[in-house]
Homo-oligomer: A and B are copies of this chain.
């Protein structure tokens, strides 16, 4: 862990572009599914997941989803439903109306805003199957009004066709409309190009391993994709008023995710810095995921000393962290100067897991400094806009010479004539 002046610290983790072998493997799989459809999809599922399926067994049935409800604990279901309700309520506030502007001369200009028609959601299998991520991906699409949300997730390996029941329940609660038991690059290709069993989508979202990430890159253009998520990050901006136990616990809640995760404290208080360091040592020793958290802190953890909280904000704006907690005397005083962070948590009770699971804002956030230009997953990501232009004859008469002047300057005579032909003939018939 780096402890010292902020000027001496740089957080650098390379983005994952895969090895040439991985890229070649993904290109082969994507092309095979594109050409052969279900045949290739089932062949790769048999080969990678050791599960032999027929096209009829690709889609998870309503009965299987019902059975999953019988399996999950009541307290899980209650918590999941409350989280889903909170996420839905927050994202409802992001919705937008189509709008128009009408003029007395009969001109109408506006934007028509509509949901995407069909979205695909990738959900990893095994230990990385997080019900919370299903909610965070699917609910914004549902709120946007996307009528078809198709989820893919690998079957349990070793011949068992089952899907984690917690994932099935989360999908049903979130409003997913179809679930397919396929995973890997082959599932991404199926969503992008469509097969006889899985119709093509317009956008693919959701996390996955390196093969899934490379497949998403490979199909981008044919469909839209969400961002490729990097390892998780937290920065805590705190002064003497902060409780070092809280700061340390929140840093560890990131560090336990992944050895590549980063947890950084930015503070003007040497006292807090010492106390947090001690607390990190004490608390990390008690964590089940101690080894991961220790490696993360060692490689990418830092305690950065700054002159004052304002200098701390400058450091934060350069870091552009995925999560930022502000535990200072008066967090609102600083908010206006905080320019770049995926999510901002204010005050001592806004622990980051509150946002990961429950409060309502999305936990899918820009990583690796991309908060400089990217945003949390939100309803806009599932909407498309069309400009709307209705000109009247009166308006066209008024603007024709300006349009023709600009068109002719750019050497586009046909553009000028398309306007002028309407001036000669009077009515359109």
Contact = CB atoms under 8 A, between A and B. Distances in A.
Interface of A: 15, 75-76, 78-80, 82-83, 90, 93-94, 99, 101, 107-109, 111-112, 114, 116-117, 127, 130-132, 166, 202-203, 221, 223-224, 241-243, 245-246, 249-250, 252-253, 255-257, 283, 287-289, 293, 327, 331, 335, 338-362, 365, 370-376, 378, 380, 383-393, 395-396, 399, 401-403, 405-407, 409-419, 421-422, 425, 428-429
A97 to B, nearest CB: 12
A238 to B, nearest CB: 11
Contacts of A405: 75-76, 79
A383 B380 CA distance: 12
Contacts of A418: 246, 249-250, 252-253, 351-353
A330 to B, nearest CB: 12
Nearest to A348: B428
Given A287-B417, A353-B412, 4 more contacts: A93-B99, A116-B372, A349-B393, A355-B387
A402 B78 contact: yes
B246 A428 contact: yes
Contacts of A395: 349
Contact of A422 (B75, B224, B351): B351
A388 B343 CA distance: 6
A354 B420 CA distance: 11
A127 B289 CA distance: 61
Contact of A339 (B83, B114, B245): B114
Contact of A409 (B101, B131, B390, B417): B131
A372 B76 contact: no
For the complex of A and B, 8 pairs with smallest distance between CB atoms: A361-B387, A348-B428, A79-B402, A375-B385, A224-B373, A343-B387, A256-B414, A353-B415
A345 B389 contact: yes
Main secondary structure on A side of the interface with B: mixed
Contacts of A335: 112, 388
20 contacts: A15-B221, A75-B405, A78-B402, A83-B402, A109-B360, A112-B338, A112-B344, A127-B411, A131-B410, A252-B414, A256-B415, A283-B417, A293-B414, A340-B384, A346-B388, A348-B422, A352-B415, A357-B415, A359-B399, A365-B387
A425 B243 contact: yes
A132 B410 contact: yes
A357 B411 contact: no
Nearest to A417: B249
- What number of copies of this chain does the assembly contain? 2
Q: Taking each of A82, A127, A350, which has the highest tally of chain B beta carbons within 10 Å of its own beta carbon?
A: A350
Contacts of A389: 343-346, 350, 354-355, 359, 361
A265 B352 CA distance: 55
A386 B376 contact: yes
Contact of A349 (B241, B357, B391): B391
A354 B384 contact: no
A80 B285 CA distance: 67
Given A99-B93, A355-B387, A395-B349, A76 B415 contact: no
B289 A413 contact: yes
A21 B192 CA distance: 28
B342 A387 contact: yes
Contacts of A384: 340, 371-375
B362 A387 contact: yes
Contact of A390 (B116, B293, B350): B350
Contacts of A75: 401, 405
Contacts of A415: 253, 256, 352-353, 356-357
B347 A390 contact: yes
Nearest to A354: B391
A327 B356 CA distance: 50
A58 B357 CA distance: 50
B351 A419 contact: yes
Given A253-B415, A371-B384, A399-B354, A349 B410 contact: no
Contacts of A331: 390
